[in-house]
């Protein structure tokens, strides 16, 4: 039997449009001789649909779309079947009253063939708000060329049952173990698993363990595309019963690819591709996140402030790869404290990328604000107030230009700054999307170093960036970080060195460790931590919560980001 893995990029809530995407995938699959098409979790809705699932009109539309798909398949490809992710009404008044389910469409009909067993309610996931859990293993018996294929069906989290590999797992059933006595021929997993650093390799290990337990191949089909803060990297694959990857789909790109089940005389399959290295995956995920956020929110162009610093440089590179240089504009807004080197570096960066710029000096506006505030303050604004005022002047100019020109304003702050509050509300935090808001400053430096290395050339070429030479540039990469809001300012004047700050932040944010633990046990790599440093950083983290609550949505790429999965109180100890 020939399976088609349809790695699709849906628009959340667009049931008709997503149905067309499924039909287009079936057309490609049929042209490649496929017998069964697999689509991702909730592929008719797009993941995560969140409170759209509560709208009765959309559930009515779903039934219409399923029948439309069934009729279209019967007319064009009567021998083709497709598995589609749907929200199945439970037929009860108690809530939640839906199942996260799989429908089999073929021969002019459709029917539910599987229900998700394990419903994640952690980090960004909130499935128990909408769904009730299935209560039994799902096996589909499918006749093909005189043979009955026994297919085990699972949905995303149902495969994540190996605590030894994951470090944790949801309480509840083990859907893989429950399939053992059913002697299945294949295990199919329809997923919507967001990108995370090192996550693709973990999915391989989980599928390999399931394949070895069940002694059959595992076919894993994942959604691709950006939906709000989440980026889905696709990277679908097939592992043999031995656990070896025998088919690998692209990272961060839509694709329909076929795989032949083992048979008497199987057709030769292409060799399994390799996933890109970690920096390559991360960069592609960020580019896809910007590209889809803009496209799905109906923005054709983007705007950002260019300071000559490394954060805005990285955002400019990402935006250019996502939207093309003609659709990205930079504003240079020098103050009296901006160095000539920063202006030159920002201009040179824009020229390397081919993006347009405008320069709007803010010294006259600073003088105007000083004069206007003098009566109320009995003098001009000073200290932190004056520094923040510069940032807010720049933020106002950026918002004005973006509004007038219909552009998506990209904010350029990183995770380290968001964590400790080294950012200004209504200033540099302005924007519709925080592109690198989940990248620590040290990660920003590492990613920029990779971008400027020969190793990045294939990725750069594929994404339409100049493949040779520096992009970010050595001058920007080696410059001491500075907001340039006062003479000779450095980030290190207010913060610990990022090499010290970032590992402690990661331990506090993602590992939920306390200063006491860090002082007594050190970091994971054995580095010691001064308790006073850890306490100070924790206090900065807590005090900045009110700022993060008002920040632009960010692209999640870590295990714990300042987005919908971060639910800390503002008024707390």
Give the list of residues 6+ apart from residue 146 with CB closer than 8 angstroms, or none.
Answer: none
Which residue of the set 41, 88, 127, 387 is catalytic?
41
Query: Cα separation of 347 and 330, whole Å?
Result: 9
According to DSSP, the β-strands at 218-222 and 237-239 are: antiparallel
Residue 492 tokens, joined: 């290190």
Query: Cα separation of 219 and 240, whole Å?
Result: 9
Which residue of the set 26, 65, 88, 116 is catalytic?
116
Helix (H, G, I), strand (E, B) or coil at 2: strand
Q: Identify the CA nearest to 530 among candidates 492, 503, 490, 512.
A: 503
Q: Where would I find the H helices in 155-245?
A: 163-166, 175-179, 199-214
Q: Identify the CA nearest to 421 among candidates 388, 455, 386.
A: 388
Q: Identify the CA nearest to 410 among candidates 316, 528, 327.
A: 316
- Quote the Cα angle for 491-428-335, to 5°: 75
Active site includes 448? no
Active site includes 26? no
Give the list of residues 6+ apart from residue 158 with CB closer than 8 angstroms, or none.
Answer: 116, 117, 118, 175, 176, 189
Helix (H, G, I), strand (E, B) or coil at 491: helix
Report whether the peptide linkage leading into residue 56 is cis, meaning its omega lies within 30 degrees of zero: no
Q: Please say whether the dihedral angle defined by the alpha carbons of residues 521, 526, 531 and 534, taken in this order, is positive or negative.
A: negative
358 beta partners:
331
Query: Cα separation of 22 and 109, whole Å?
Result: 16
Residue 96 tokens, joined: 């939640």
In contact, 524 and 504? CB cutoff 8 Å: no
In contact, 185 and 151? CB cutoff 8 Å: yes
Packed helices 15-31 and 56-76: angle between N→C axes, nearest 10 degrees: 20
In contact, 317 and 281? CB cutoff 8 Å: no
DSSP assignment of 309-329 equals: SHHHHHHHHHHHHHH-GGGEE
Q: Identify the CA nearest to 99 among candidates 87, 82, 83.
A: 87
Q: Identify the CA nearest to 437 among candidates 406, 477, 410, 404.
A: 410
414 beta partners:
none
DSSP designation for 276: P
In contact, 245 and 204? CB cutoff 8 Å: yes
Helix (H, G, I), strand (E, B) or coil at 115: strand
Active site includes 251? no
Which residue of the set 65, 88, 127, 156 is catalytic?
156
Which run of H or E residues covers position 295?
Answer: helix 278-296
Catalytic residues: 41, 116, 156
């Amino acid at each position: 039997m020939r399976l088609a893995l349809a790695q699709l990029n849906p628009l959340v809530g667009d049931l008709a449009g997503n149905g067309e995407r499924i039909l287009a995938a079936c057309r490609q699959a049929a042209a490649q001789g496929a017998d069964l098409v697999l689509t991702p979790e909730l592929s008719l809705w797009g993941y995560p649909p969140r409170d759209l699932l509560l709208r009765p009109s959309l559930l009515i539309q779903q039934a219409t779309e399923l029948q439309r798909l069934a009729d279209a398949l019967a007319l064009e490809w009567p021998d083709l079947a497709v598995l589609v992710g749907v929200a199945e009404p439970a037929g009860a008044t108690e809530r939640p009253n839906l199942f996260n389910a799989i429908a089999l469409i073929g021969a002019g009909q459709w029917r539910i063939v599987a229900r998700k067993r394990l419903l994640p309610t952690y980090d960004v996931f909130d499935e128990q708000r909408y769904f009730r859990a299935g209560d039994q293993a799902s096996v589909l018996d499918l006749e093909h060329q005189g043979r009955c294929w026994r297919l085990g069906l699972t949905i995303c989290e149902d495969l994540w049952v190996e605590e030894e590999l994951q470090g944790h797992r949801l309480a509840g059933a083990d859907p893989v173990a429950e399939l053992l006595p059913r002697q299945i021929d294949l295990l199919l997993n329809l997923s919507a698993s967001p990108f995370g650093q090192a996550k693709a390799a973990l999915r391989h290990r989980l599928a390999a363990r399931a394949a070895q337990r069940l002694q059959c191949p595992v076919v894993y089909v994942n959604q691709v595309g950006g939906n709000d803060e989440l980026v889905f990297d696709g990277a679908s694959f097939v592992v043999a019963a031995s656990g070896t990857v025998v088919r690998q789909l692209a990272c961060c790109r839509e694709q329909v690819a076929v795989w032949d089940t083992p048979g008497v005389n199987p057709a030769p399959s292409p060799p399994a591709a390799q996933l890109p290295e970690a920096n390559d995956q991360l960069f592609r995920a960020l580019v896809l996140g910007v590209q889809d956020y803009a496209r799905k929110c109906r923005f054709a162009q983007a705007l950002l402030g260019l300071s000559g610093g490394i954060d805005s440089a990285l955002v400019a590179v990402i935006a250019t790869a996502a939207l093309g240089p003609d659709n990205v504009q930079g504003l240079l807004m020098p103050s009296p404290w901006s160095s000539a080197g920063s202006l030159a570096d920002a201009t040179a960066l824009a020229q390397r990328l081919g993006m347009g710029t405008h320069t709007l000096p803010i010294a006259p506006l600073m003088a105007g604000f000083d004069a206007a505030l003098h009566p109320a303050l009995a003098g001009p604004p000073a200290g932190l107030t004056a520094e923040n005022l510069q940032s807010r002047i720049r933020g106002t100019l950026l918002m004005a230009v973006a509004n007038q020109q219909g552009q998506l304003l990209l904010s350029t702050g990183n995770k380290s700054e968001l964590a400790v509050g080294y950012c200004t509300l209504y200033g540099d935090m302005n924007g519709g999307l925080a592109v690198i808001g989940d990248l620590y400053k040290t990660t920003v430096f590492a990613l920029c170093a990779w971008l400027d290395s020969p190793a990045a050339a294939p990725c750069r070429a594929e994404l339409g960036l100049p493949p040779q030479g520096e992009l970010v540039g050595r001058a920007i990469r080696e410059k001491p970080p500075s907001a340039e809001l006062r003479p000779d300012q450095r980030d290190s004047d207010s913060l610990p060195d990022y090499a010290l700050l970032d590992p402690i932040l990661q331990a506090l944010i993602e590992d939920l460790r306390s200063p006491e633990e860090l002082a007594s046990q050190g970091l994971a790599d054995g580095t010691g931590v001064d308790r006073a440093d850890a306490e100070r950083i924790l206090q900065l983290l807590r005090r900045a919560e009110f700022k993060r609550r008002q920040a632009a949505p960010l692209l999640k790429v870590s295990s714990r980001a300042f987005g919908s999965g971060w639910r800390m109180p503002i008024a707390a100890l």
